Amino acid sequence: MKVIIVLCLLALSFLGCMEEQKIQKSGKVVKIGVLAPLTRANKRYGYQSLLGLKFANRNKTVLANGDEIVLEVIDTNSTSDGTKKGLKELLDKNVTAILSFVGSGNMLSLKEMLTNVKTPILVTLATNDEITKLNSSISQICMSNQREALVAAHYIKDEKFMNEVGIVYYKNNPYSRSLATQFRDYYKQIHGRNLFFLDFSQKDSFTTFKKKNFKDLKIIFSVLDTKKNLKILEFLKNKDIKLLLSDGAFSSAKETQAQDLHYFNGSYIIEHYASNMRASKEYKKLQKFLAKENLKDSSYAFLAYDGYALLYDTLNSCVDYDQECMNALFQNSDIVEGIAGNFSMENAQAKRKIYIDKIENLELKREIVTY
Our CA dihedral for 24, 120, 37, 150, rounded to 10 degrees, sits at: -120
Which residue, among 284, 269, 185, has the nearest Cα to 233 in the 3D structure? 269
pLDDT of amino acid 13: 42
Q: Is residue 21 domain-resident?
A: no
Examine the domain organization and report whether 261 and 312 are in the same domain.
Answer: no
Phi–psi pair at 348, nearest 5 degrees: 70, 15
Amino acid identity, residue 204?
Answer: D
- The Cα–Cα gap between 173 and 194 comes to 21
Q: How far apart are CA 36 and CA 73, in angstroms?
A: 7
Residues 169 and 272 in one domain: yes
Cα–Cα nearest to 330, from 92, 136, 145, 146: 136
Domain match, 254 and 288 both: no
- Number of independent structural domains in the chain: 2
In angstroms, the CA 199 to CA 206 distance is 10
Same-domain pairing of 261 and 288: no
Q: Is residue 176 part of a domain?
A: yes
User: Interhelix angle for 281-291 vs 43-58, to 10°?
Assistant: 130
Is position 74 within any domain?
yes
Answer yes or no: do 156 and 302 share one domain: no
Query: What is the pLDDT tens value at each position of the chain, 371 positions in all?
Result: 434 433 333 343 444 443 444 578 999 999 999 999 999 989 988 999 999 999 999 989 999 999 999 999 999 999 999 999 999 999 999 999 999 999 999 999 999 999 989 999 999 999 999 999 999 999 999 999 999 999 999 999 999 999 999 999 999 998 999 999 999 999 999 999 999 999 999 999 999 999 998 988 999 999 999 999 999 999 999 999 999 999 989 888 876 656 788 999 999 999 999 888 877 889 889 989 999 988 878 899 999 999 999 999 999 999 999 999 999 999 999 999 999 889 999 999 999 999 999 999 989 999 999 87
Task: Verify that 132 and 170 share a domain, yes or no.
Answer: no
Is the same domain home to 224 and 362?
Answer: yes
- pTM for this entry: 0.88
> Per the domain annotation, does 10 fall within a domain?
no
Q: What's the pLDDT at 258?
A: 65
d(CA 156, CA 236): 18
Domain that holds residue 174: 146-277+355-370
Q: Output the CA–CA distances (angstroms, integers) from residue 81 to 37, 109, 246, in the order listed.
A: 12, 9, 26
* Nearest to 61, CA basis, from 32, 104, 94: 32
In a domain? residue 327: yes
348 and 364 fall within a common domain: no
Domain annotation covers residue 81: yes
- CA torsion sign for 33, 38, 40, 45 is positive
Which residues are paired to 351 by β-bridges?
Answer: 344
Question: CA nearest 80: which of 45, 50, 42, 115?
Answer: 42
Residues 225 and 360 in one domain: yes
**Residues linked to residue 321 through DSSP beta bridges, in sequence order:** none
* 3-state SS assignment for residue 88: helix
CA 312 to the chain's CA centroid? 18
Which residues, other chains included, contact 170 with Cβ-Cβ below 8 Å and sequence gap of 6+?
A: 176, 177, 199, 200, 201, 223, 224
218 and 308 fall within a common domain: no
Q: How far is CA 217 from CA 60, 178, 221, in A?
A: 49, 23, 11
In a domain, 24, yes or no: no
Q: How many CA atoms lie within 13 A of 43 on its CB side?
A: 7
> Could you tell me if 348 and 361 lie in one domain?
no
Q: Are residues 303 and 241 in the same domain?
A: no
Output the domain CATH number for residue 90. 3.40.50.2300
Output phi, psi for 221, to 5 deg: -90, 115
